[in-house]
Homo-oligomer: A and B are copies of this chain.
Amino acid sequence: MNSPVRLGIVGLGNMGNSHAQQILQGKVPRMDLGAVCDTNPEMLKRCANTPGFASHQEMLASGKIDAVLVATPHYDHTTIGINAIAAGIHTLIEKPLSVHKADCQKLIAAYEKRSRKDLVFAEMFNQRTDPRYRKLRDLLQSGELGEIRRVNWIITDWYRTEAYYSSGGWRATWAGEGGGVLMNQCPHQLDLMQWMFGLPKKVRAHCQFGKWHDIEVEDACTAYLEYANGATGVFITTTGEAPGTNRLEVATDRGRVVVEGDGLQWTRNAVPTSEHLKTSKNGFGTPERWEVKIPTSGWGGQHNEVLQNFADAILDGKALIGPAVDGINGVELGNAMLMSTLWDRTVELPLDAAQVSAEYSKLIAKSRHKKQQTAAASSSDFANSTKGLAK
């Protein structure tokens, strides 16, 4: 295996070019920029000293790269990812893995059929590097917090202006981008939700389409979730609110943890709620509570940490921060929110992937954006996915 890993990037829009520049500046140990690819020649000028390709197939076959990062519009993640895996190139996909569950399954099936068993298949889940969510997940998994009773994530600080949505013809269309705030901004939170709490069994969501902006896709969503253990959840997001909120609250048997700003604030029950509730002789009293401030430092290594981890996985077999096969879960959760809205009812997970795919076909058929234009407009205006970190 070559060291450093020679990475090719497909799609030199905001996100792809941002990754390219970080690598060119030496910010990612043991990773070089081997080649770049964009269907728009103007974009290739952003990395003028790196071999450039108009076709991702040519780049994959060029011998210039060991690994590829796919940072194209969402629908293309599936086809390009499958081609990369088939070519035996280590593959890192930007979020979301794909637009819908069936496309995720296609990608994962390609990976499962790979001829090269050591192939690394990762997703850019950079917010998994945030020490607050890592700590919360650790606390949950260790049993320290006890069973989850209720979760509530208000993630409404994804504010975008009308100028944002009019900046690219593919943007915020069913045919071009495949969705709105759930598809572009929220894949991080949808992944973190499933990563920390698992997938719910039931989802009842209320997406609103073009509520605040002149777009055909959802720019607001409120979802109610029910988990297998009986816990409930609420997930609220929008791109139409300022200043917006990013506040995650988790009520567990051992109290309540709030993640908003720095660190974690845990109001800890000295006695588990379930025990106190059943054994207390007092109708009104509550368990003794302790205020526990759990410090965390910074927001994690984010994109560069995922890139470095990708290199470490390739070179040393290190465990991935974000295995791409996990990516189907957050996609399914977002799909469930959309389907619940379209079907005007509670949906149960797991979803029928073919049924979801059929719904997308209907949405695409009536989309104001024509799919064939996607490639040309593709990577010129990709969203800056570092937004949404805590301010």
Interface residues of A (CB under 8 A from B): 149-150, 152, 154, 156, 159-165, 167, 204, 206, 208, 211-213, 220, 222, 224, 226, 230, 232, 234, 236, 238, 240-245, 249, 251, 255-256, 267, 269, 273, 276-278, 280-287, 289, 344-346, 384, 387
Find out whether the CB atom of B242 lies under 8 angstroms from the CB atom of A156. Answer: no
Nearest neighbor of A387 in chain B, beta-carbon distance? B284
Find out whether the CB atom of B222 lies under 8 angstroms from the CB atom of A283. Answer: no
Find out whether the CB atom of B161 lies under 8 angstroms from the CB atom of A277. Answer: yes
> Which listed residue, B152, B161, B220, B267, touches A232 by the CB 8 Å rule?
B220
Residues of B within 8 A of A206 (CB): 204, 224, 226, 232
Q: Are A236 and B152 CB-contacts (below 8 A) given A161-B277, A212-B277, A249-B245?
A: yes
A152-B154, A160-B283, A244-B256 are known contacts; what are 6 more A-B pairs with Cβ within 8 Å? A149-B240, A159-B273, A162-B280, A234-B236, A241-B251, A244-B286
Find out whether the CB atom of A280 lies under 8 angstroms from the CB atom of B204. Answer: no
Find out whether the CB atom of B284 lies under 8 angstroms from the CB atom of A384. Answer: yes
Residues of B within 8 A of A211 (CB): 230
Find out whether the CB atom of A278 lies under 8 angstroms from the CB atom of B162. Answer: yes
In whole angstroms, how far apart are the Cα atoms of A212 and B226 in the complex? 15
> Which listed residue, B152, B226, B236, B243, touches A289 by the CB 8 Å rule?
B243
Query: Which of A267, A282, A284, A289 has its CB near the most chain B CB atoms (within 10 A)?
Result: A284
Residues of B within 8 A of A245 (CB): 249, 251, 256
Residues of B within 8 A of A240 (CB): 149, 273, 277
Find out whether the CB atom of B222 lies under 8 angstroms from the CB atom of A287. Answer: no
Residues of B within 8 A of A273 (CB): 159, 240-242
Nearest neighbor of A277 in chain B, beta-carbon distance? B161
Find out whether the CB atom of B230 lies under 8 angstroms from the CB atom of A164. Answer: no
